Amino acid sequence: MAAQDGGAKMAAWARGVRGLLLDISGVLYDSGGGGGGAPIAGSAEAVRKIKASGLKLRFCTNETQATREKFVKKLQGLGFDISVAEVTAPAPAACRLLKERGLRPHLLVHDDLIPEFAEIDKTNPNCVVVGDAAENFSYANVNEAFRVLIGLEKPVLISLGRGRYYKETDGLKLDVGAYMKALEYACDVEAEVVGKPAKAFFESALAEMGVPPQQAIMIGDDIVNDVGGAQQCGMRAVQVRTGKYS
């Protein structure tokens, strides 16, 4: 009886939903340090069922270790029905912001993400963009970004997310937020976050789906960046018990 009541409450809670936003890492798969990864049991079938149901679907990720094209190709190889056009990610959003404001970035990002910034002027930088640079987060590279930022009359720090950590197949890894905070502290500046949990990032994903926040649900493994960010935008949200939750 209790299970029936719980099911009825969930059905009522989800009534009127027209679209879903899905996080990727920790929800669909656990990434691997060598560029591979392992799909989470049942996730590929879940994506197929969501698409077959007629619900609108958007993949909303803070992935910044690869271009969207390379990332999507990897997911397709793991059995997921996903296309580049269905993915909302921080790097393209950051490029739009840089162009709109005439900013020329010094990049502290993963080597595989650099092609996303191919059309951006990077001469004589007047801002710093930091992403999940992984092994590129050496002292020399972080210090170089610090020197660029501290040398600006009006320092501008743009961060592709602010996550604390994430899970890979071999364990937890520090995320971009830890390095963002170091630069904020050293330069006495507040970063502009492009990616989850920024409200504008969720609004962009909703606009691409053509669904208002009241009719969408975000599904993720991060209570702050996925669930909290979505709720701040007026959406409902669900935290899964995979990825960093576990």
Dist. CA 75–CA 28, nearest whole Å: 9
Nearest 5°: the CA angle 179, 181, 187 is 105
pLDDT for position 31: 82
Dist. CA 137–CA 219, nearest whole Å: 29
Return the SS3 of 37. Answer: strand
The domain locations on the chain are 7-89+197-245, 90-194
pLDDT for position 169: 81
Amino acid at 51: K
Residues 6 or more apart whose CB falls under 8 angstroms from that of 52 comprise none
Query: What does residue 105 show for φ and ψ, rounded to 5 degrees?
Result: -85, 145
The pLDDT profile of the chain, 246 residues, written as one tens digit per residue, is 555 565 566 556 667 899 999 999 999 998 875 557 899 999 999 999 999 999 999 999 999 999 999 999 999 999 999 999 999 999 999 999 999 999 999 999 999 999 999 999 999 999 999 999 999 999 999 999 999 999 999 999 999 999 999 888 888 899 999 999 999 999 999 999 999 999 999 999 999 999 999 999 999 999 999 999 999 999 999 999 998 876
Is CATH 3.40.50.1000 correct for 7-89+197-245? Answer: yes
Return the SS3 of 239. Answer: strand
For residue 197, is the peptide bond before it cis, meaning its omega torsion is within 30 degrees of 0? yes
Q: Which CATH superfamily is domain 90-194 in?
A: HAD superfamily/HAD-like (3.40.50.1000)
Q: Do domains 7-89+197-245 and 90-194 have the same CATH topology?
A: yes
Instruction: Please report, for residues 10, 77, 196, 216, 223, the alpha-carbon distance to residue 56 in angstroms, rounded to integers and kept in the order given.
Output: 19, 23, 20, 9, 23
Give the orientation angle of helix 199-209 with respect to helix 90-101, to 10 degrees: 110
The 10 Å Cβ neighbour count of residue 16 is 10
Residues 6 or more apart whose CB falls under 8 angstroms from that of 98 comprise 104, 105, 120, 127, 129, 158
Q: Taking a C-beta distance cutoff of 8 angstroms, is the pair 214, 190 a contact?
A: no
Dist. CA 167–CA 174, nearest whole Å: 9
pLDDT for position 12: 63
Amino acid at 211: V
pLDDT for position 194: 95
Kindly report the three-state secondary structure assignment for every residue of 200-227: HHHHHHHHHHCCCHHHEEEEECCHHHHH
